[in-house]
Chains A and B, each alone.
Chain A
Amino acid sequence: MLSLLLDPLTLGFMQRALLAATLVGLVTAVTGVYVVLRGLGFLGDAVSHAAFPGVVAAFLLGAQVTLGALVAALGTAALIGWVSQRGGIRSDTAIGVIFAGMFALGVLLLGTVRGYTGDLMSFLFGNVLAVAPSDLAIIAALGVLVLLVMFAVRKELVFASFDPLGARAAGLPVRALDYLLLALLAVTITVSIQVVGIILVMAMLLTPAATARQLADRLSSLVALAVAISVGSALVGLYLSYYTNWASGATIVLLQTALFLLALTFGPRRSLRA
């Protein structure tokens, strides 16, 4: 029994995969709590898809692919924030237009790539087993950065999310905090793409937080529970995929989805919206 757990740990790629999955599970859970509470799900989906042209462009230019994803995700988040704060356009319309435009750019760029595009496909669907030591270093550095910033401004983020007018009257730069949250979301998505891919990253953000929301009504317990669900599913999913040969990202997400459905069915908070 114990060897089932320990054997994979002797393999370098499994060690890196488990570390990467744990880190990503941790960061997505914390960011995801704000995504769920603020109703930013569609925006997160847009930002993750918008990372795609960044990935392809970096590949074409021979640059660091994570860097390309980060630049595209941050740029898109800023663009969406700017368009929706200008007014006159509903924010979901602004998000939809920019999201589709960015993804189209990615598809167009992909068409210009000659030869093998398998590496690029791994960004669409994620391949945590292929995480290189340098990737792991980037995931760790950016992940820790996101967590530190979140922790440092948690009092202000909570106030601005709960009561934006009151927060502004209390002297908080609510608009800047909104942009900061978008930026943290973009960085979180970038580091997660390695593990679960562009298409499934939304599940990492939304599902653990939405599950925890069914069970907790305090922010601290909500974050703790979301982290436990997220990291737990990531580790269990990774072992499962190791032994079954299932796709690792999909296995992790399906575990989270199962937990969500369980919490929804048996949880006590069915009357309150997530």
Chain B
Amino acid sequence: MTAPAAPLIVASGVSAGYGARPVLESVSFTIQAGELVALVGPNGSGKSTLLKVLAGLLPARAGTVRVLDAPPGRQPRRVAYLPQAEAVDWTFPVSVLDVVLMGRTPRIGWLRGPSRVDREIALEALRRVGMAHLAERQIGALSGGQQRRVFLARALANEPDLYLLDEPVTGVDPTTEEALMELLDAECRSGKAVFASTHDLSGVLGHFARVLCLNRTLVADGPAEILRDPDVLRATYGGHLVEVRGGTALLVDDPHHGPDHAGARRGHA
């Protein structure tokens, strides 16, 4: 172990929201280099909002945020942000490789196109997520899970120190999810940090070391195993929780965004 460095993320009493509507209130935590941290919570709990604040896309109304020892959004070369699928225009005519090359934008700079090295790095990132054979395909022609993998490749191509991932594995099949999580784990072992929101609680138990439970404020922060604690789940998900048994959470939550509605179903065992 080397000497302890400054944390990659320091959030202290952070509140944020859109217009007059507050979403996050008084959230405090830190993330160190090498950590693989999951962010869970019901819809509308502020997961995307928190990631946007950390990426510098939304100002904090109160509290302080430091990312890589600077205000958020100042170091695009060292931070890769993966937005939710809804924020992207999938009909836009770009190829899979074009999309991954966008991850090189902060390094290429203005008035220049990608170099051969940039292309090599982008192709290597596509290989790592198992999508190199679709490099020339139109991005809109891919399935939702494949699109997530391409976006993860874009984040890898950025070669960042910190990954801020908004639902990186939503819509991905279990085998691929396993492979992608191993990839992120390898990134963490090489000293990077990953902070990823997810709806898949069993995935958190299987792959993440630490979890932050969010429900507009931070409900719990600890090792992934705290998700086996019914009190933590109840505090995080409230009425969404259906059943907890045998140390495994079984709950109903809508993986898509929008107003919460009863009857939204997708069980995670």
Contacts and interface: CB of A to CB of B under 8 A. Distances in A.
A218 B83 contact: no
B99 A170 contact: no
Nearest to A218: B93
Interface in A59-117: 87
Interface string B155-183: 00010000010000000000000000000
B102 interface: yes
Interface in A140-193: 152-153, 155-156, 158-159, 161-172
B102 A170 contact: yes
B91 A166 contact: no
Interface in B65-112: 73, 76-77, 79-83, 87-89, 91-95, 98-99, 102-103, 105-106, 108, 110-111
A272 interface: yes
Given A169-B55, A217-B138, A159 B102 contact: yes
Contact of A166 (B81, B98, B108): B81
Interface string A198-232: 00000000000000010011110010000000000
Range for the number of chain B residues in contact with chain A: 35 or more
Chain A's interface: helix, strand, loop or mixed, by majority? helix
A169 B92 contact: no
B223 interface: no
A170 B92 contact: no
Given A37-B92, A158-B94, A169-B56, A163 B83 contact: yes
Contacts of B94: 158, 162, 219
B91 A272 contact: yes
B263 interface: no
A213 B105 CA distance: 26
Interface in B32-70: 52, 55-57
B102 A171 contact: no
Nearest to A33: B93
B140 interface: yes
Contacts of A159: 102, 105
Contacts of B154: 166
A158 B93 CA distance: 9
B17 to A, nearest CB: 13
B93 A216 contact: yes
Contact of B105 (A37, A87, A164, A172): A172
A213 B73 CA distance: 35
A172 B105 CA distance: 9
Contact of B91 (A87, A167, A169, A273): A273
B88 to A, nearest CB: 5
B140 A272 contact: yes
A101 to B, nearest CB: 26
B4 interface: no
A273 B82 CA distance: 25
Contact of A169 (B19, B57, B95): B57
B49 to A, nearest CB: 12
Interface in B193-229: none
B140 A156 contact: no
A171 B103 CA distance: 11
Interface string B105-128: 110101101000000000000000
Interface of A: 37, 87, 152-153, 155-156, 158-159, 161-172, 213, 216-219, 222, 272-273
Interface of B: 19, 52, 55-57, 73, 76-77, 79-83, 87-89, 91-95, 98-99, 102-103, 105-106, 108, 110-111, 113, 138, 140, 154, 158, 164
18 contacts: A37-B92, A37-B93, A152-B110, A156-B110, A162-B92, A163-B87, A165-B81, A167-B102, A168-B56, A169-B79, A169-B80, A169-B81, A170-B106, A171-B77, A171-B106, A217-B93, A218-B93, A272-B91
